[in-house]
Amino acid sequence: AIDIKKLRDLTGLVTLDPGYKNSGSCTSEITFLDGELGILRYRGYGIEDLAENANFLEVSYLLIFGEKPTAEVLEKFENDIRKYTLVNEEMKSILDGFPKTAHPMGILAAMTSALTSFNPKSVDVENEKDMYCAVCKTMGKFLVIATWTFRKNMGYPLNYYDNTKGYVENFMRLMFEIPTEPYKVNKTFIEALDKLFILHADHEQNCSTSTVRMVGSSHAGLFASISAGVSALWGPLHGGANQAVLEMLEEIHNNGGDTEKYLAKAKDKEDPFRLMGFGHRVYKNFDPRAKIIKKAANEVLATLGVEDPILDIARKLEAAALEDEYFKSRNLYPNVDFYSGIIYRALGIPTDMFTVMFAIGRLPGWIAQWKEMRENKEPIGRPRQIYTGATLREF
Ligand code: ACO
């Protein structure tokens, strides 16, 4: 018979920290974050500096490999990613199998997972060359698949990567170019997107990144781990918040623009409604990314000459919440998602693609964290629990 008492003694001390609010799961050299001071740095470089002076692929390289690439290294990285942008044609039959109403994040998770079956060697990353190859493959194929989720829902023919164009420009082409209408590059769009991707690129041990590390810790391959990260990101308390923010702003707009009413709902503890795009697990002062995005949103709309009533609602809501005792006392400030949706909307990206946009931006962070976890030879993730169920009983 099992001696429960003995077993209990053997388990030793277990700390309980639901949501891991105060528990570190690893050491990391990738991203520094100070939630009190509102500081975010990738590999020591301030987010404001990177958003202003770097492009997305440079930042991706920096995150994944630890150092800012020289011009030659960056060119090679970009070329190597290009080599892997072809997605196996048989993957199209998987895409065909999804209903037209399927959410793009569900398709993206499944298609990313399927990449493992079509590229079985990518699981093997024991040496530097194989690791580099897996990184470039993921950066290339994920972007293409992400845009296919949109084209499927639109009923458009699938597009292929154009090796004469840059990564972010390709994203817009892959999304929007149709045979009868060549895509015209809009510099403002590309610059805004580049910035948005940089701001989303990493955020230390958030829910999706921790998921990627956890799944990868069993030595599951990069595609399988990233697929799990996509699923985690999809939730409305995480990446899904950007879609939820816009839906909330549209709802307020459609109901007469009464921001005060929604503010009151958010404060009512009997009402499950939360002000989407407000609050953050770590930033208890302000989210430095929100500041940059707010400025970018204003610039994009001014350049395009767009007057968006949704932006007016967002401004009104933000101003009211910042003055409100409930929000002030709980340190609830606009987070990165509060303004990103407004830019996406101005770029013509449909609401249900917003979280996919986040995933494209977060991809280098996921890869960097997965790579670090493997290179540090971290043990398999396996938390403990405090059992609170029934004691032994007879069946
Ligand atoms: N609206 C209203 N009240 C809120 C909100 C909100 N958006 N966020 C937190 N609160 C309140 C809670 O009700 C709680 O109040 P209480 O102390 O009276 O019980 C208090 O503030 C603390 O909230 P917690 O849920 O304990 O904070 P936690 O750190 O666990 O959650 C989270 C952070 C999930 C981001 C939360 O603020 C939230 O749900 N925000 C809305 C969703 C959102 O925007 N998510 C995106 C996060 S950023 C990202 O993933 C990129």
How do residues 174-189 score in pLDDT, each as one tens digit? Answer: 999 998 888 888 888 8
State the distance from the centre of ligand 1 to the C-alpha of 145, rounded, in angstroms. 32
State which H helix or E strand residue 229 sits in.
helix 222-234
Q: What is the pLDDT of residue 304?
A: 80
Q: Is 297 in the pocket of ligand 1 (CB under 6 A)?
A: no
Token digits for 389?
């169920």
Cα distance from N-terminal residue to C-terminal residue, the chain:
15
Q: What is the pLDDT of residue 187?
A: 87
- Pocket mutation for ligand 1, best pick of 330, 333, 336 (most atoms within 8 Å of C-beta): 330
Q: How far is residue 205's CA from residue 15's CA, in Å, rounded to a whole number?
A: 19
- Pocket mutation for ligand 1, best pick of 208, 242, 280, 292 (most atoms within 8 Å of C-beta): 280
Q: Is 280 in the pocket of ligand 1 (CB under 6 A)?
A: yes
For residue 7, pLDDT over 60 is answered with: no
Q: Please list, residue by residue across 27-51, b when 16 or more beta carbons sit within 10 angstroms of its beta carbon and e when fewer do.
A: ebebbebebeebebbbbeeebbebb
Q: How far is residue 213's CA from residue 378's CA, in Å, rounded to a whole number?
A: 9
Section 220-244 average pLDDT: 93
Tell me the ipTM for this assembly.
Answer: 0.94
Mean pLDDT (the chain) is: 92
Ligand 1 atom at minimum distance from 266 CA: 2
Of 303 and 375, the one with more pLDDT? 375
Map residue 45 onto helix, strand or coil.
strand
State the distance from the centre of ligand 1 to the C-alpha of 222, rounded, in angstroms. 31
Q: What is the pLDDT of residue 353?
A: 95
The answer to whether 219 is a known catalytic residue is no
Ligand 1 atom at minimum distance from 330 CA: 21
Q: With pLDDT > 90 as the criterion, what percentage of the chain qualifies?
A: 73
Q: Is 277 in the pocket of ligand 1 (CB under 6 A)?
A: yes
Q: How far is residue 36's CA from residue 44's CA, in Å, rounded to a whole number?
A: 18
Q: Is 281 in the pocket of ligand 1 (CB under 6 A)?
A: yes
Q: How far is residue 144's CA from residue 171's CA, in Å, rounded to a whole number?
A: 8
For residue 5, pLDDT over 70 is answered with: no
State the distance from the centre of ligand 1 to the C-alpha of 25, rounded, in angstroms. 22
Q: What is the pLDDT of residue 2?
A: 60
Section 355-364 average pLDDT: 97
Q: What is the pLDDT of residue 300?
A: 84
Q: What is the pLDDT of residue 328?
A: 92
Q: Do residues 366 and 224 lie in contact, with contact meaning Cβ atoms separated by under 8 Å?
A: no
Q: Is 202 in the pocket of ligand 1 (CB under 6 A)?
A: no
* Ligand 1 atom 15, closest CA: 330
Q: Is 266 in the pocket of ligand 1 (CB under 6 A)?
A: yes
Q: Is 207 in the pocket of ligand 1 (CB under 6 A)?
A: no
Q: Is 116 in the pocket of ligand 1 (CB under 6 A)?
A: no
Contacts of 298 (CB under 8 A, 6+ apart): none
Longest distance between any two alpha carbons in the chain, whole Å: 76
Q: Do residues 343 and 181 lie in contact, with contact meaning Cβ atoms separated by under 8 Å?
A: no
Q: Is 199 in the pocket of ligand 1 (CB under 6 A)?
A: no
State the distance from the centre of ligand 1 to the C-alpha of 280, rounded, in angstroms. 6
The answer to whether 238 is a known catalytic residue is no
Q: What is the pLDDT of residue 9?
A: 60
Of 78 and 281, the one with more pLDDT? 78
Q: What is the pLDDT of residue 76?
A: 98
State which H helix or E strand residue 39 sits in.
strand 39-42
For residue 46, the cross-strand partners are 41
Q: How far is residue 15's CA from residue 13's CA, in Å, rounded to a whole number?
A: 7
pTM as predicted: 0.89
Section 212-227 average pLDDT: 96
Q: How far is residue 153's CA from residue 352's CA, in Å, rounded to a whole number?
A: 10
Q: What is the pLDDT of residue 238?
A: 87
Q: Do residues 232 and 133 lie in contact, with contact meaning Cβ atoms separated by under 8 Å?
A: no
Q: What is the pLDDT of residue 269?
A: 94
For residue 92, pLDDT over 70 is answered with: yes
State the distance from the centre of ligand 1 to the C-alpha of 51, rounded, in angstroms. 26
Max mean pLDDT among 112-126, 170-184, 310-324, 348-362 falls in: 348-362
Q: With pLDDT > 70 as the criterion, what percentage of the chain qualifies?
A: 96
Q: What is the pLDDT of residue 188?
A: 84
Question: Binning pLDDT at 50, 70 and 90, where does residue 139 land?
Answer: very high
For residue 273, pLDDT over 70 is answered with: yes
